[in-house]
Amino acid sequence: MCLSIPSQVVAVDNERQSVTVDTLGVRRDVSSHLMTEPLAIGDYVLIHIGFVMNKIDRNDALQSLELYQEIVSKLENETTH
Amino acid sequence: MLELKQLYQGFRDPQTIASLAQDIAKVARTLKEPINIMEVCGGHTHTIMKYGLLDLLPDNIEFIHGPGCPVCIMPKERIDQAAVLAQQEDVILVTLGDMIRVPGSKGSLASFRAKGCDIRPIYDPLDTLKIARDNPHKTVVFFAIGFETSTPMTAVLLQLAEQQKLANVFFHINHVLVPPAIDAVMHDPNARVNAFIGPAHVSVISGAKIYRPAVEQYGTPVVVSGFEPVDVMESILRIMRQKAAGKAELDIQYSRAVSEQGNLAAQAKVEQFFQIRPQFRWRGLGPIPNSALQLKPEYAHRDAELRFKNCLPVKEIDDHKACQCGDILRGLAKPKDCKVFGRGCNPETPLGSCMVSSEGACNAYYRYQGIDSKEQHHG
Ligand code: SF4
Ligand code: SF4
């Protein structure tokens, strides 16, 4: 039950402390009561039981994905040479 | 540019998983002692079983499936209390999904619901506000469960109930804490754990800092890890590298959303409404001091345990004799060591709590490995 899912902010309602997020095509409203920094359209966030828990750092995620690319290609080189 | 899709697929890429497995194997060959990794949370157990990661790892790495599940560790007497609350006149009991299938001593909340009790499973705690508003003459009790991950959400619900003067909202608090559970496991003289994978979602809220004492006290690496299979494999690699270098450090693999400090606003909300409960009995692990939360005295008027004090049963109730959840949570047994695994106990008719939620260790083994042998894959 305690899993959290990455989603993207598609609308912000500051008055109601709520944002609309898209989770791979599914849209819903979630609470932003636990966030002090403002959320913006396009932000990646983690959702848990109807709340934004935190933002996902875009650059950090990209760096990880790049690192994995390197690991894969390093291994491919090792096995082909 | 980062696409949302990449946040899923990029961390499930089979080639990346295979490459990380090779790197892990390389480091593993240099190690003399076996590595017994406790993944504290059932979410990780689920990933390990679903993606067949065990088959990709060398023999000197073993997983111990830890107590990190608020559903799995709920003792029967607390479920019995929820059932009694639901049977009171004009009470609506509200709780999160999985909870209603966990067996108490007289049945699960689902079975009480079938008998006519007003029990409402919800996905979002704030739905409780609407139920309370729609039913002003009823008492609405929120049966609150969860680790550090979910406590701030209960705090927001309480705050809004106060602000909106909804006097008919009450709370039965079962929020538990991860670090005392780690201590309980490590203080067992038979404990074999020598590394931890910490659940990312807990640390998104609480920060990685909550594991510093464990790293220092037990000299074990702790890697705070995401839940995708690539995250888990990378975390294992990081543990192996620490072991190879003779180190024991706190490391954050899930740095895309976890910091040392965590979400301070959420922590402040928890501080505002909750205090440490002197003791909580964990299913499988027994009583652990200071391992759970309760409402602060200022909010006693919201506390269902006080409001219904006279009718709530307090007798402690142990699990079915055959159930080995306790040993599984302490890493002393595997689900298949249990005599009733897959026979008397399965996800439809769970005898113990580890079989209930999809992240429970027994449930994950049952779904992804089947009843008998390792060769028998079911899904
Ligand atoms: S359901 Fe648990 S992930 Fe959620 S708490 Fe259970 S094993 Fe962890
Ligand atoms: S199989 Fe069922 S009875 Fe056995 S340990 Fe797991 S939950 Fe308990």
Give the ligand whose atoms come closest to the C-alpha of residue B74. Answer: 1
Pocket-testing residue among B48, B49, B71, ligand 1, by greatest number of atoms within 8 A of Cβ: B71
B132 and B100 in one domain? yes
Q: A-contacting residues of B 244-263, CB under 8 Å?
A: 255-257, 263
B83 with B158, same domain: the answer is: yes
Q: Is the domain of B204 the same as that of B97? A: no
Asked if B160 and B300 sit in the same domain, the reply is yes
Dist CA B242 CA B208 (whole Å) = 17
Provide the CATH number for the domain formed by A6-56 in this structure: 2.30.30.140
Is residue B368 classed as helix, strand or coil in its secondary structure? helix
Question: Contacts by B243-247 with C-beta closer than 8 Å and gap 24+?
Answer: B243/B27, B243/B31, B243/B33, B243/B35, B243/B195, B244/B27, B244/B30, B244/B31, B247/B221
B167 & B271 share domain: yes
Q: How far is B310 from chain A (nearest CA, A)?
A: 31
DSSP B342: T
Contact A50 B357 (CB under 8 A): no
| HSE-CB for B133 with a 13 A CA cutoff | 10
Instruction: List the CATH number of the domain containing B171.
Output: 3.40.50.11740
Ligand 1 centre distance from Cα of residue A11 (Å)? 30
Q: Do B266 and A56 touch (CB under 8 A)?
A: no
Same domain, B153 and B297: yes
Select the more confidently predicted residue: A76 or A43.
Answer: A43
The predicted-structure confidence for B75-97, as pLDDT tens digits, reads as follows: 999 999 999 999 999 999 999 97
Encode pLDDT of B111-156 as tens digits.
999 999 999 999 999 999 999 999 999 999 999 999 999 999 999 9
User: Do B30 and B143 belong together in one domain?
Assistant: no
**Which of B271, B290, B308 is where one domain is finished?**
B308
Domain membership of residue B314 (yes or no) is no
pLDDT tens per residue across span B190-249: 888 999 999 999 999 999 999 999 999 999 999 999 999 999 999 999 999 999 999 999
Which neighbouring-strand residues pair with B195? B37
Distance CA A4, CA A15 (A): 25
Residue B91 placed within a domain: yes
Contact across the interface for B263 and A55, Cβ inside 8 Å: no
Statement to judge: residues B99 and B240 lie in one domain:
no
Q: Is the pLDDT of residue B379 over 80?
A: no
Q: What is the CATH number of the domain that holds B45?
A: 3.40.50.11750
What count of CB pairs under 8 Å joins A to B?
139
In chain A, which residue's Cα lies nearest the Cα of B148? A2
Which chain B residue's Cα is nearest to A46?
Answer: B257
Say if residue B52 is in the same domain as residue B93.
no
Whole-prediction pTM value?
0.92
- Same domain? B148 vs B100: yes
Same domain, B184 and B243: yes
Who among A50, A62, A72 is closest to B125 (CB)? A50
- Partners of B7 on chain A (C-beta within 8 Å) are 6, 44, 56, 61
Within 8 A by CB and 6+ apart from A74, the residues are B19
Residues within 8 A of B (CB atoms), A 41-70 only: 44, 46, 48-51, 53-58, 60-62, 64-65, 68
Q: Among B4, B69, B359, select the one facing A44 at the smallest CB separation.
A: B4
Residue B329 belongs to some domain of the structure: no
| Chain B nearest-CA residue for A44 | B4
Ligand 1, atom nearest to B146 Cα: 5
Distance CA B222, CA B235 (A): 9
State the ligand closest to the CA atom of B346: 2
Contact assignment for A49 to B123 by CB distance below 8 Å: yes
Is B207 contained in some domain? yes
Q: Give the domain range for residue B28.
A: 11-70+179-252
Residues B223 and B284 in one domain: no
The dihedral region occupied by B219, where left means phi > 0, alpha psi between -120 and 50, and beta the remainder, is: left
- Among B206, B223, B252, the domain boundary falls at B252
User: What is the amino acid identity at position B304?
Assistant: A
Number of domains in chain B: 3
Q: Which residue of B has its CA nearest to A66?
A: B10
Average pLDDT of chain B is 92
Q: With cut-offs at 50, 70 and 90, classify the pLDDT of residue B378.
A: very low
Establish if B4 belongs to a structural domain: no
Of B219, B252, B285, the last residue of a domain is B252
Average pLDDT over residues B95-110: 88
